Structure 1
């Protein structure tokens, strides 16, 4: 713990400020923020001399031995993280999109330059899920990881189901509190959860999956009809990511809204909290719960990585190195609730079977079995159609 960490911090938004605050509450850690790189000059609570405006000011500073990357733009984050690793600097990042899209290269860079990249804050905020998957569940007994991975969407759904607020009002409240961005697409359409799920899949099963090939669909199309349907059936709707080990060394993964009943762990995960259920062959189900959005919860996860680096910790990627890699399989089927208005939209969904059907004056719905591959073919069009989809959970593990 006597190792002095001199930090170059990129970004001073909600999470950057949160990290600065939690660092002040951790005096035992031998850490100094040497410089903070931001885009624009403006009035801030910290001394002006602490800030810089060119990434090179941090990257070329030989005194800085740890780069903490907390900017929102994945395309801007990638060259910063890559160059830092190439220069022999350890890196902590919270950028799930950047990591998920460049996973294999970032792992190789760590090996090539004998450095460590830690990113606990990139998945599930304050929950130490990556470290647990890497260290505690470091064997081949794991069967599935399922959970609420996006605090912003969960906050919105809580306001809808527990406080009877309309979607737009709940979204605005999430934005005002800093849980959702001005453009909420990343959160409410399941992209944030998708990138987190890709990261969790690598640490759960040793398999790197291209995010573009994974089904994700969010809650932006939810209507009062869907909400009333769920309530009448005794469900809540949650945005859920799942990766599951199948037979014959195969994996299934997707992010979809889900109809969740009272006997499931995630039913009572509310507001900006995340909840992750880990299921194993020998230990059945274990549940992790914590805040998944906000500056201080995410900042605490960044702090955890900084503390780990003070002890020279690095991910070993044990599942990739010591166990048989599992292949991502798109051929499985799931049961979904599909609410639609136009028959032309319904015709695009090739159900294998129908278990429930309703036709009404404004909306119709069908519940039935459909292949993940069929849904993947529609992936880029789903959120632009006048529909809503939710997994029923009846044919799944959770």
Structure 2
């Protein structure tokens, strides 16, 4: 097959943009070169010639010689405008902006269908892990039962520093920011929103379910209390921020992002620092595990590089699972989860929300907690979930169908 040459218009020259430039310099066989770079900060010193840069996005979007747009900026709203305009102009796009993709995925899929122009985003899912294309190609006809993983390198770095190195949360976060694994405003990472955005992409390619980020429950790591950490230590378990999507026996999907107690023998227990790990449970290929770096300049740039290489062969996503399983939808009220809830004196969980309470402790010295089983939808709706002093950690069991499964409405 004949490979085409790529003339790239690059948006953003931060950590990942600079990483991409570096890896392109070291891979001349790719047949790709950066023709122009659009940036925002006029005062920032840059090592490349000034003539390569512009502050006007139209210098890239309107240039007929630039055949590919690579979007690597932080602003999701601006990224959406850039990506949409590029696709309508017939320019292939590679992006790492998972927030933008998650919020506009149905529209972007439709624009690709109408224009025939490819949009690739391997770097938006799990950085260096080759997940999206594997789901599209290797698992295209396989009946996947579940995907679960650590898909945010920043929070995994913080949790590793807390559990393995004994660092307090604030110190671990500060170090992650110093190393470039977490942003100066880390809310997207530590509140679980980044992992939720990535889970939106995984749901589309693994199960054919196109959902909005707000349809998914996301609980971050900021509510993990000393009581929860002590509980994990006493049980010989490890706390990880885990995104999971699971096909339910009665039809539908359960999906959420939750801090989770992981057993030592589980694949995810050995995923440390800024690494990502993803476990796929397949009807035919059984259980498979992907491991790789989930943050940093070169790991993310390597995924962008892989997408660029795919474009030289004319590759595009076919969204095969969407066509195969268009009926498959989220069913949070058909699923349940076992949780540890820690709380203080200001707020406490409503035990009426639980189908079963297994253990409860109220202690002035050891703190307050309960463990119980609760519907996934009920947990998402619980008024106490976001109350001050309340923390939720999933126990070491997967999402599962509720004992009494409600009838699914098409």
The corresponding residue for 2:71 is 69
Indicate how the Cα distance of structure 1 residues 234 and 349 shifts in structure 2: closer, same or farther if over 3 A, else same.
Answer: farther
Q: CA deviation at 1:378?
A: 3.9
The answer to whether 1:366 aligns with 2:366 is no
| Equivalent residues in 2 for 1:212-291, closer than 5 Å | 212-291=214-293
Indicate how the Cα distance of structure 1 residues 219 and 349 shifts in structure 2: closer, same or farther if over 3 A, else same.
Answer: farther
Q: What SS class does the counterpart of residue 203 from structure 1 fall into?
A: helix
1:264-296 CA-partner distances (Å, limit 9, x unpaired): 100010000000000012222100000000010
Q: Which of these residues, 73, 90, 93, is aligned with residue 92 of structure 2?
A: 90
Alpha-carbon distance between aligned partners in 1 of 2:303 and 2:352, rounded to the nearest angstrom: 41
Q: Which of these residues, 141, 151, 154, is aligned with residue 153 of structure 2?
A: 151
The corresponding residue for 1:58 is 60
TM-score, normalised to structure 1, is 0.96
- RMSD (CA atoms): 1.5
The corresponding residue for 1:14 is 15
1:359-392 CA-partner distances (Å, limit 9, x unpaired): 110520000011111222248x744521111110
Q: What SS class does the counterpart of residue 345 from structure 1 fall into?
A: coil
Alpha-carbon distance between aligned partners in 1 of 2:40 and 2:343, rounded to the nearest angstrom: 44
Alpha-carbon distance between aligned partners in 2 of 1:52 and 1:132, rounded to the nearest angstrom: 36
Which consecutive unaligned segments of at least 5 residues does structure 2 have?
Answer: 401-410
TM-score, normalised to structure 2, is 0.94
| Equivalent residues in 2 for 1:30-179, closer than 5 Å | 30-41=31-42, 42-179=44-181
Alpha-carbon distance between aligned partners in 1 of 2:285 and 2:369, rounded to the nearest angstrom: 38
Q: CA deviation at 1:348?
A: 7.8
Q: What SS class does the counterpart of residue 327 from structure 1 fall into?
A: coil
Q: Which of these residues, 395, 399, 404, is aligned with residue 392 of structure 1?
A: 395
Q: CA deviation at 1:396?
A: 3.8
Is the 1:217–1:383 Cα contact (8 Å) retained in structure 2?
A: no
1:35-83 CA-partner distances (Å, limit 9, x unpaired): 1000012211111100000111101101110000001111110010000
Which consecutive unaligned segments of at least 5 residues does structure 1 have?
Answer: none
Alpha-carbon distance between aligned partners in 2 of 1:140 and 1:378, rounded to the nearest angstrom: 36
Matched length: 396
1:147-172 CA-partner distances (Å, limit 9, x unpaired): 00000000000001111111110000
